[in-house]
Structure 1
Amino acid sequence: MADARSIPLLFGRAGIELKLPEAARPQIIQKAHLPRLPDARAALQDALDTPIDAPPLAELAKGRASACILICDITRPVPNGLFLRPMIETMHAAGIPLSAITVLVATGLHRPNEGAELAELVGDDWVLENVTVANHFARDAEAHVDLGPTPTRATPVFIDRRFVEAELRIATGLVEPHFMAGWSGGRKVVAPGVAGHQTIRTFHSARFMEDPLAVQCNLVGNPLHEEQLEIVRKIGEIYALNTVLDEDRNLVHVTFGEIIASHLAAVDFVTSATRIEMPRKFKTVVTTSAGYPLDKTYYQTVKGMVTPLDILEPGGTLIIASECSEGFGSEEFRDAQARLVELGPERFLATISAKSLADIDEWQTEMQLKPMRVGQIQLYTTGLTPEERRLTAVEIVPSLAEAVSASIARHNDPAVAVIPEGPYVVPVHRA
């Protein structure tokens, strides 16, 4: 962790520099170094050939008539171009017709990825030309199979029919801290990734969102994680390919195998590097929304506000940089933010606490309440219209440097925590 006056931050595609005042005493919080794999393709092939709690992919594919591979949507920088074609070619060589293989984008309730964006996401023209690539639509009732409620919390389980009915089911994704489910990847790509809106909106209700164990880097007693495990068990046999990336989006780890076991192996690998213990809290914290593609919208920006809360002093200032190049987010999220501005945090929370099904995307507004309870939230962005900036319900700052200087003066404390990668790093206060 180095001392510096000019610190590069992830912001959009190009990044920006945070120029600190002379008075600042910065503490840069970064992941522990994870060495880049010298041969990513060889590492991938090794993972496919020697899976965790499963036969090799070539054996798994034998005798199957169809397959469905889930991939994350554009908000996750997963290296799909690295692994999709080798996986598909292995399946095809084992006897599955290319016409019976579907790559399904696990959009959850996000918008679909289409056209040039879909090509960027898939990362391989051969895949687009040889197999079916489609988006999941959570609001299409006919596209889902009703698997009945989970046994513990009675979450309704609706899953995309294309995934449920495939004879070989594989989820792929990125394992990184997730501010509710503990860690992304694995079972999360299935639910909420290809779940119906009823399932997702139950996950996003206050019953789950306000649970103190539904936080980043925690799987023990986390109600979202536990429900996701129950859902994948309901579906049956599922495998997963899990990737771990460094700050430059290079592959540093890959696992393949049974969905729960292979995901936990990836979590075990990345936990110590991502969860960074700090001996103190800070009155000034500067973070990001992790740059492109996560900071395309204000909707996704909220994640960066929640992740560093453990090191923010009550009453302190959290400054987040997010480009918001695509704007605000969905109309439903905009409506929820408008209600937050109109009602205020306490009344807004009261209106959603009794719901068993959250309104679409209002959960992200509920998550924003968490940092607002702790301190002052400021946003630096080059996107958003004046009206959208008003609906953020946080203070917009025209300059990161000036915001840091003002915070140092306001709190009479020169210590500044700087988290260049935003929600990809989880600082934890340990005295």
Structure 2
Amino acid sequence: MESGITLKIRLNYGRKGLLVEIPDGVQAEVIRKPAMPVLDDPLEAIQSALASPVGLRGEQAVLQLAAAGVEGGWATGCRSACIAICDITRPVPNGLFLRPMIEGLLANGIPKHEITILVATGLHRPNLGEELKELVGDAWVMENIRIKNHDARHDAGHVLVGKTPTRGTVVKLDRSFVEADLRIATGLVEPHFMAGYSGGRKVIAPGLAHAETITTFHSARFMADSAAVACNLRNNPLHEEQLEIVELIGGAMALNTVLDENRQLSFVNFGEIVASHEQAIDFVRNYCEVKVPRKYRTVVTTAAGFPLDKTYYQTIKGMVGATNVLEPGGDLIIASECSEGFGSEEFSDSQRRLVDLGPDLFLKQLFEKSHADIDEWQSQMQLKPMAVGDIHLYCPGLSEKQWEITGVKQIASVEQAIFESVQRQGESEIAVIPEGPYVEPSVE
């Protein structure tokens, strides 16, 4: 590699970031969000949102809230409440809003012992110990409120609420959430590579769903749908299923947040789950959907840093997100810490089958099943960038055995990979996406 350096770019990587030096002679187009507003007083903004819920007008909202036991004020008449929070894979600022929300419930007569915080793990592992403390972010909440992890494999912990009208998915959801008088989902709204956007209804399903439900609407036919992509809700089968699941339980409330590139609170709202989610999306679209003039033969991206890049499983989101701006036959270079390694055993098994069978036969077998095997949908999503170009991963933490089942190329240095790609591709202009899947670039 030549020694001349003209630019340094910090990538989102682990907790501290990764400073990458762009080789001399290489021109980097840095793709990031426009500057986002930051709320000067986050606590005041949260309290204001809780005091002024959105979407409580209109016949549909009234029916949903009445079914949830909410009349007049959003907690009036309720005797119990369940607050769903995202698991450790999302940097949701729970420490900012949980206590004000809970204090509002207490003020409305719901006793502490009837309030449950439910970690919406989906099929991910539970969050325990110091990790749970970091996730909740408030010592008072930890000491005073019951906190549980959702367990998608525990049959008795779920309630059968029906089937989705359009596709007939059997819907089983966490009993603690379904049976609460007041149901509140909380989360972060950002691009999601399958469901369009995270937050809102996604916290409920797959977050609080039984394994049978999750593996149905994460099956190959859903994943292969051309509408099941980031930033798209129109005809998106996952989004449509999630909305129908919300209707099956009679609705819910939601608190949605949006963070800027530095993880500062940029937006918060509260209200009826569909209306509040739509409002949050209307806000974040202006920043996370970024137009670029063309595609590139070398694209550098990330898995968004901690906490998303804790595993290779989540790293695939960064690969998929950058595919829109990668020229066919190009090189996709991604940096991800993977401090926890690969992911679940089921995911490892899925990746092993992908590598052994090859993409075509692997995909053929997926379409022969009505239910996905757990976590194999992530392997299916990896096929998208693999079909466009070559994937090069910087991740010192994976073992040799884990590398064998990634299906991608191992690199020892992002800088060296850039240098070699530019030489191989014959193009000195590259694209760099420091925030990874939290930015969704597309060609104008």
Name the TM-score, length of structure 2 as normaliser.
Answer: 0.95
Checking the alignment, whether the CA contact within 8 Å between 1:49 and 1:57 is kept in structure 2 is: no
Tell me the equivalent position of 2:219: 205
2:417 aligned with 1:403 = yes
Letter of the structure 2 residue corresponding to residue 135 of structure 1: N
2:267 aligned with 1:253 = yes
Q: Distance in 1 between matches of 2:77 and 2:233?
A: 35
2:94 aligned with 1:80 = yes
Q: Distance in 1 between matches of 2:347 and 2:388?
A: 22
Q: Distance in 1 between matches of 2:140 and 2:440?
A: 37
Q: Distance in 1 between matches of 2:13 and 2:71?
A: 38
Q: Using the TM superposition, give the Cα deviation of residue 237 of structure 1 relative to its aligned residue in structure 2, in angstroms.
A: 3.0
Q: Using the TM superposition, give the Cα deviation of residue 58 of structure 1 relative to its aligned residue in structure 2, in angstroms.
A: 9.4
Letter of the structure 2 residue corresponding to residue 123 of structure 1: G
Q: Using the TM superposition, give the Cα deviation of residue 54 of structure 1 relative to its aligned residue in structure 2, in angstroms.
A: 2.7
The secondary structure found in structure 2 opposite 1:126 is: helix
2:278 aligned with 1:264 = yes
Name the TM-score, length of structure 1 as normaliser.
Answer: 0.98
The secondary structure found in structure 1 opposite 2:163 is: coil
For residues 294 and 58 of structure 1, do their structure 2 counterparts lie closer, same or farther at Cα, with a shift above 3 Å needed?
Answer: farther
Tell me the equivalent position of 2:64: none
2:380 aligned with 1:358 = no
- Give deviations 1:353-397, integer Å, cap 9, x for gaps: 121110001110110011000000010012111110111110000
Task: Give the aligned length.
Answer: 428
The secondary structure found in structure 1 opposite 2:84 is: strand
120, 123, 147: which is aligned to 2:137? Answer: 123
Tell me the equivalent position of 1:182: 196
Tell me the equivalent position of 2:329: 315
Checking the alignment, whether the CA contact within 8 Å between 2:6 and 2:23 is kept in structure 1 is: no
Letter of the structure 1 residue corresponding to residue 99 of structure 2: R
2:23 aligned with 1:14 = no
Q: Using the TM superposition, give the Cα deviation of residue 138 of structure 1 relative to its aligned residue in structure 2, in angstroms.
A: 0.3
For residues 57 and 297 of structure 1, do their structure 2 counterparts lie closer, same or farther at Cα, with a shift above 3 Å needed?
Answer: farther
201, 204, 226: which is aligned to 2:240? Answer: 226
- Give deviations 1:84-107, integer Å, cap 9, x for gaps: 011111101110010000000000
Checking the alignment, whether the CA contact within 8 Å between 2:219 and 2:372 is kept in structure 1 is: yes
188, 198, 207: which is aligned to 1:193? Answer: 207
- Give deviations 1:124-175, integer Å, cap 9, x for gaps: 1111111110000001011111112111011110100100000000000000
- Give deviations 1:279-333, integer Å, cap 9, x for gaps: 1000000000000000000000000000111111000000000000010000000
Tell me the equivalent position of 2:290: 276
Checking the alignment, whether the CA contact within 8 Å between 2:71 and 2:77 is kept in structure 1 is: no
For residues 57 and 6 of structure 1, do their structure 2 counterparts lie closer, same or farther at Cα, with a shift above 3 Å needed?
Answer: farther
Tell me the equivalent position of 1:236: 250
% same residue: 60
2:342 aligned with 1:325 = no
111, 129, 134: which is aligned to 2:148? Answer: 134
Q: Distance in 2 between matches of 1:4 and 1:250?
A: 30
Checking the alignment, whether the CA contact within 8 Å between 2:296 and 2:431 is kept in structure 1 is: yes
Q: Distance in 1 between matches of 2:114 and 2:247?
A: 24
Letter of the structure 2 residue corresponding to residue 15 of structure 1: G
Q: Structure 1: 5+ residue runs without aligned partners?
A: none
Tell me the equivalent position of 2:319: 305
230, 244, 261: which is aligned to 1:216? Answer: 230
Q: Using the TM superposition, give the Cα deviation of residue 57 of structure 1 relative to its aligned residue in structure 2, in angstroms.
A: 11
For residues 408 and 204 of structure 1, do their structure 2 counterparts lie closer, same or farther at Cα, with a shift above 3 Å needed?
Answer: same
Letter of the structure 1 residue corresponding to residue 120 of structure 2: A
2:51 aligned with 1:23 = no
Q: Distance in 2 between matches of 1:404 and 1:347?
A: 32
Letter of the structure 1 residue corresponding to residue 215 of structure 2: R
34, 51, 57: which is aligned to 1:32? Answer: 34
2:119 aligned with 1:105 = yes
Q: Using the TM superposition, give the Cα deviation of residue 5 of structure 1 relative to its aligned residue in structure 2, in angstroms.
A: 1.2
Q: Structure 2: 5+ residue runs without aligned partners?
A: 58-69
The secondary structure found in structure 2 opposite 1:86 is: helix
For residues 57 and 101 of structure 1, do their structure 2 counterparts lie closer, same or farther at Cα, with a shift above 3 Å needed?
Answer: farther
For residues 149 and 4 of structure 1, do their structure 2 counterparts lie closer, same or farther at Cα, with a shift above 3 Å needed?
Answer: farther
Tell me the equivalent position of 2:66: none
Matches within 5 A, 1:137-152: 137-152=151-166
The secondary structure found in structure 2 opposite 1:20 is: strand
Tell me the equivalent position of 2:65: none
Q: Using the TM superposition, give the Cα deviation of residue 4 of structure 1 relative to its aligned residue in structure 2, in angstroms.
A: 6.1
Moved over 6 A (4+): 55-58
Q: Distance in 1 between matches of 2:95 and 2:23?
A: 42
Tell me the equivalent position of 2:171: 157
Q: Distance in 2 between matches of 1:199 and 1:159?
A: 8
327, 330, 336: which is aligned to 2:350? Answer: 336
2:61 aligned with 1:47 = no
Letter of the structure 1 residue corresponding to residue 317 of structure 2: K
Q: Using the TM superposition, give the Cα deviation of residue 253 of structure 1 relative to its aligned residue in structure 2, in angstroms.
A: 0.3
For residues 149 and 58 of structure 1, do their structure 2 counterparts lie closer, same or farther at Cα, with a shift above 3 Å needed?
Answer: closer
Q: Distance in 1 between matches of 2:222 and 2:118?
A: 27
